[in-house]
Amino acid sequence: MLHLVHSIIQSPVGYKWFIWNRVIEENTVRNYVVKGNICYSKSSNELCIVENGYVVCEENKCAGVFHELPEAYEDFPLYDYSDHMIIPGLVDLHVHAPQYPFRGMAMDLELIDWLNTYTFVEEAKYANLDYAEKAYDIFVDDLKHSATTRAVVFGTIHNDATLLLMEKLEKAGIASYVGKVNMDRNSPEYLCEESAEQSAKATEQWLIASERFENVKPILTPRFTPSCTDELLERLSQLQKKYKVPVQSHLSENLGEIEWVKELCPGTKNYGDSYDRYDLFGNDCPTIMAHCVYSDEAEVEMMRKQNVFVAHCPESNANLSSGVAPVKNYLKKNMKVGLGSDIAAGSTLSIFKAMAMAVQCSKLRWRLYDQYVEPLTVEEVFYMATKGGGEFFGKVGSFEEGYEFDAVVLEDVSLRHPQELTVKERLERMIYLADDKNILAKFVNGNKILEK
């Protein structure tokens, strides 16, 4: 028999939801069925839509998507979201938590000046735990109410503030990687670590302290080559091998930055090589590189071969006048590509907005710059926002069998329309127009962490 767990709209205008007949205790039961219009990607050009379908969560994992519910699952409790859309949780592969306070501001400079004028000044404040407490409360609460279920996050150089951030993300139920940032050169005195040795030592202490978290994992985070000495990268490489942690950094974002790296690292083949020579660029070291706007052929080939993930951050790349990454090419080469909000060079945590901007910027790149790289499609950006970025977490970001169960329930009643719409059209509309008010419920790794 089916145990009904109806979620009903009390008022179609007020978006107020009440759970009725609740038989599922949150964060414990891992077997259930979710009913609605199921949308998910199998590949970058294969978007699957099952109208009025069922997606089954069995022991935290997807057991499949069905038009008719198989007998085997009839005893599972049911979340019935009727005509609403159910999509995999969105993945933010690149977000700077401490920069959230100045989102949507300070958009008048390019990368290096922007860092020195606004960003470093803000990040320095996180030496003060009271400030970090206030700021990270806001960040984590907003992230919780967004469609993002997984995030890969930059903290600051401060161990305590970074651990506080991890604690808050753990409590909110958002599966994430978080990095204590390393910077020991070319940084203002108030935000520069004492030495490579001290930076590495603090990093090891932080790695050990991070072991207490269950769903939030540490990721090594050399800020970018200009702010890390060779000795620091060498020491981080040793830590990477010892603790088997992944790595995140920035790559080929801005033309001035790339020239600077050339000067700083004589003998390297390209910017990517400045990480690769310390084994911090894929292969046995799972790696995310944000941006990759100007990666040359050799750098791209190295990323492809070594399974380096590209975090494409289109809004950031527009706001800082960086350019537009040729993402279509990366997808064609079957490279690992996801999307990043890149707060606060990006103004919003919304990965829907990142999807829309990815399409829009790819069109402008095609029109203004290079007609050999075609614009991105809705299917491609939806894939990047879910399965593409999700792969960094393992089998995450799809409803295919065996995937960890991350899901978001979307209501679009507020976007009124006089005509009939297909589910595909409704999904496309969400990419351009969805906002936190459209997020009705969110499941991460089988746990429901949000229900409005």
In sequence order, what DSSP letters do the residues of 311-338 get, joined into one string? EE-HHHHHHTT-----HHHHHHTT-EEE
What's the rounded Cα separation, in Å, for the pair 17 and 38?
20
What's the rounded Cα separation, in Å, for the pair 36 and 443?
14
Strands (E), 117-268: 148-154, 175-179, 181-182, 216-218, 221-222, 247-251
Instruction: Rule CB under 8 A: say whether 364 interacts with its own copies.
Output: yes
Instruction: Rule CB under 8 A: say whether 105 interacts with its own copies.
Output: yes
- The contact pattern for its own copies, residues 128-167, with x = CB under 8 A and - = no contact, is ---x--xx--x---x-------------------------
Nearest approach, Cβ of residue 79 and its own copies (Å): 27
Nearest approach, Cβ of residue 393 and its own copies (Å): 28
Nearest approach, Cβ of residue 306 and its own copies (Å): 29
**Nearest residue to 397 (alpha-carbon basis) of 382, 412, 413:** 382
Instruction: Rule CB under 8 A: say whether 127 interacts with its own copies.
Output: no
What's the rounded Cα separation, in Å, for the pair 367 and 325?
14
| Residues of this chain, 274-333, that bind its own copies according to CB under 8 A | 315, 318-319, 321-324
**Nearest residue to 250 (alpha-carbon basis) of 322, 161, 335:** 322
Instruction: Rule CB under 8 A: say whether 11 interacts with its own copies.
Output: no
By CB under 8 A, how many residues form the interface with its own copies? 53
Instruction: Rule CB under 8 A: say whether 108 interacts with its own copies.
Output: yes
- Only one residue has tokens 């940032």, namely 181
Distance from the first to the final alpha carbon of the chain: 27
Q: Which member of 107, 112, 129, 209 binds its own copies (CB under 8 A)?
A: 107
Give the binding range for its own copies (CB under 8 A) out of 3-11, 156-164, 236-244, 419-427: 419-427
Rounded-to-10 torsion of CA 296, 300, 302, 303: 140
Instruction: Rule CB under 8 A: say whether 13 interacts with its own copies.
Output: no
Q: Which member of 366, 392, 399, 403 binds its own copies (CB under 8 A)?
A: 366
**Nearest residue to 399 (alpha-carbon basis) of 37, 25, 23, 4:** 37
Query: Given the rule CB under 8 A, which residues bind its own copies?
Result: 101-108, 122, 125, 131, 134-135, 138, 142, 315, 318-319, 321-324, 347-348, 356, 359-361, 363-369, 375, 377-378, 415-419, 421, 425, 428-433, 435, 437
